Structure 1
Amino acid sequence: MPPLPTSHPARQSLRALLCGFAQIFLQQSPGCGLLVLIAILIGAPDLLPGALLGGLTSMLIAQHRGYPPADIAIGLYGYNGILLGLLLSLKLPWTPLLPVLIITSAALSSLLLAPWMRSMRKHGWLPAFTFPFVLLGWLLLALVTQLQLPLAAPTSSPSAPELNFLQLMLAVLRGLGQVIFLDSPLAGLCLLIGLRLADGRTALWALLGSSGGFALAIFSGWPGEGALAGLYGYNATLAAIALAQVHRSPLIPALGILLALLLQPGFNALGLPALTMPFILACWLIRAGTQSWQKAVKDSTPRV
């Protein structure tokens, strides 16, 4: 009996690439990934070529290096490259240097992620999340500043009108979009639909994360323009999604939202762009705290 036909390699690669877009929001649904891609097309179509180049590069490097096919298939070797492609396309104009930087950094992101994931599985390391993107992003932005490379034209931020329900909803949607550097509410709505397609609970926590970030920023008296642009919502969104996947209690994701927001201003004080590092640190702190608590409870339990 002849072997059953397998999926065409090109179709497998397309599915893995779409899952890479979804993994930015910690999902592995190609449908969600397609809507993330469409959101970029809606909000900033000039960023899409860089995102595709970064995602393809990081995925192809993983395939060439023989990393676990299952990890590649669900997009784990795509999302850091996509984020680097987005960041570089946002900061730099399209010149011959830009694709070189995207390809190099996206390839390095896969090379950094692979040993981290092995150590996570063998030795219980903390999850990498988007740390390769953050580390390489910091290095690249420092390089851009050091070499005084020409920058792309900055996008304008929304002004701070009197707050009302409509402005609140638009800011919450922008908070979702800012995960991938978009300030378009329509793009944020597209992302919300993608998350709902992947998992309804995840979509709800994404909304709560962005809303919580906005509310805490306004309550703390931080710049209204930044709050309306969603700049205080995206790390809270990611922290809420990540922690809600692991913890059933709503208190843990709520704590993650608070921590992500409180950590964000510290990077401005250090002169570093926050990127997604507040989200990563919030999740790491809660993971380390829960492990320490579980160990303390286990050690204090009397043995018969």
Structure 2
Amino acid sequence: MWMDKKNDAGDSSRDTRTGWVQKVHLRCMGDMLHLDTLMQDRWWVLQLLLWALRGVARVILANNPISGLLILAALLWASPWQGLLGSVGVLCSTLTAVITGQDKSEVSAGLHGFNGMLVSLLMGVFSSAGDWYWTLLLPVILGSATCVLLFSSLSPLLDRWDLPVAVFPFNITIFLFLLCTRPEHPYFPRHLAVPPGAVQVNATQLDALQVLQGIPLGVGQIYACGSLGPSLLIVGAVMLYSPLLAVHALLGSAIGTLAGLSMGVRPPSLYAGLSGFNGALGCMAVGGLFFTFSWRTHLFAIASAFFSAYMDIALSNLLGTVGLPACSWAATIVATLMLLMNGSLKAYRIPIGQVQSPEQNLRSRNQWEAGRSADQDSTDV
């Protein structure tokens, strides 16, 4: 009798611990909107930190400050200099948005931070002056601020079609910077981009293990991160926000790698994940973020990944002839085209102002359909 009571007490305490862990995990997943309410009356510096962390996560289409913190830790792990540049970029663009009086809801959601972070990271990657070249902070600050101005200018235009500004400001700003610099520039020397289809003199056989390693690296390359450990941490950060989004990120990167193999892309590009990141972005955008997840949108997400990957190869070969990278133009253009499509895909599209995590989008649609069917039943009676 005593043993039964003891076992019951142990089971109940174990259930309590399990329930507490699940509750904490659920509170840390998704958009964590409750954290914005909690921080309303806190110090402004803490609010700025929250906005900046959301901006860090927004680069990979997530909206979770804990995910942003994990991603920032991954960047510092891979390269402290790159982590510093990314932090300066996201803070400068967020502060610029506050100073110029941008919409507070957009600022608090991190929408004015992620373009600035991307610009600063790419400036660091293409700089040939090496790490801790402090002069590079000047274009990082100016480029981050420019992204906010471009975001504000493009928003009224794209809002007419209910389209996101996405990373158009980043792609425009980094292009302008790279066009203004050159390898022998006295202050801002840079590397030239190499076309992925360039013929290698000492070509070797492909290493299957390194090609597979390029799949998670493709997700890390969204942040210009080419290290395996930090890239896996970035995947984990996305999974914390949305397991569905993380699955589509890896699926899209795998599709991009497959597209690179089919087009004979240089092995270093495959190994480093450079063939996968546009496919990952294209797959994530359609596979549950801007469209409610279903088997139809899943197929469209796969198609979007292939389209993004092949367009990235084409643009990279074209722009690489003048030493410029294709950045994320391919995924941005493909996602925009998908959002403009008519037909069966349009029925699953989510208004830009209502986009949440894929799981929450799916839950909201199910509730809406359940309420609609209940209304029809009551009308029939």
Task: Give TM-score, length-normalised by structure 2.
Answer: 0.70
Pairing of 1:2-81 with structure 2 (within 5 A): 6-81=41-116
Pairing of 1:83-162 with structure 2 (within 5 A): 83-92=118-127, 93=129, 94-121=132-159, 123-124=160-161, 126-145=163-182, 148-149=185-186, 151=189, 162=206
Unaligned runs of 5+ in 1: 296-304
Residue 218 (structure 2) pairs with residue 175 (structure 1): yes
Q: CA RMSD in A?
A: 2.6
Deviation at 1:180, TM superposition (A): 1.1
Q: Matched residue of 2:342: which SS?
A: helix
Name the counterpart of 1:254.
Answer: 302
The CA distance in 2 between the partners of 1:128 and 1:106, in whole Å, is: 15
Alpha-carbon spacing, 1:201–1:147, altered in 2? closer, same or farther (3 Å): same
Deviation at 1:174, TM superposition (A): 1.0
Deviation at 1:240, TM superposition (A): 1.0
Residue by residue over 1:178-221, the C-alpha shift from the partner in whole angstroms, topping out at 9 and shown as x without a partner, is 11111111111001100010001001000101111112211332
Name the counterpart of 1:186.
Answer: 229
Q: Is the 8 A contact 1:50 1:99 kept in 2?
A: yes
Alpha-carbon spacing, 1:274–1:75, altered in 2? closer, same or farther (3 Å): same
Task: Give TM-score, length-normalised by structure 1.
Answer: 0.87
Q: Is the 8 A contact 1:214 1:228 kept in 2?
A: no
Residue by residue over 1:52-90, the C-alpha shift from the partner in whole angstroms, topping out at 9 and shown as x without a partner, is 111111100100111111111111010011111111122
- Choose the corresponding residue for 1:273, options 325, 337, 347: 325
Deviation at 1:153, TM superposition (A): 8.0
Q: Matched residue of 2:50: which SS?
A: helix
The CA distance in 2 between the partners of 1:41 and 1:69, in whole Å, is: 29
Deviation at 1:119, TM superposition (A): 3.4
Alpha-carbon spacing, 1:196–1:281, altered in 2? closer, same or farther (3 Å): same
Q: Is the 8 A contact 2:183 2:189 kept in 1?
A: no
Q: Is the 8 A contact 1:160 1:228 kept in 2?
A: no
Alpha-carbon spacing, 1:189–1:294, altered in 2? closer, same or farther (3 Å): closer
Q: Is the 8 A contact 1:134 1:275 kept in 2?
A: yes
Deviation at 1:287, TM superposition (A): 2.1
Deviation at 1:163, TM superposition (A): 3.3
The CA distance in 2 between the partners of 1:5 and 1:178, in whole Å, is: 34
Alpha-carbon spacing, 1:294–1:20, altered in 2? closer, same or farther (3 Å): closer
- Name the amino acid aligned to 2:327: L
Bigger Rg over Cα: 2
Following TM superposition, where does structure 1 have runs of at least 4 consecutive aligned residues deviating by more than 4 angstroms? Answer: 159-162, 291-295
Unaligned runs of 5+ in 2: 1-38, 193-202, 348-381
Alpha-carbon spacing, 1:27–1:294, altered in 2? closer, same or farther (3 Å): closer
200-209 or 258-267, which deviates more: 258-267
Q: Matched residue of 1:77: which SS?
A: coil
- Name the amino acid aligned to 1:163: D
The CA distance in 2 between the partners of 1:287 and 1:54, in whole Å, is: 29
- The count of aligned residue pairs is 288
- Choose the corresponding residue for 2:270, options 227, 238, 241: 227
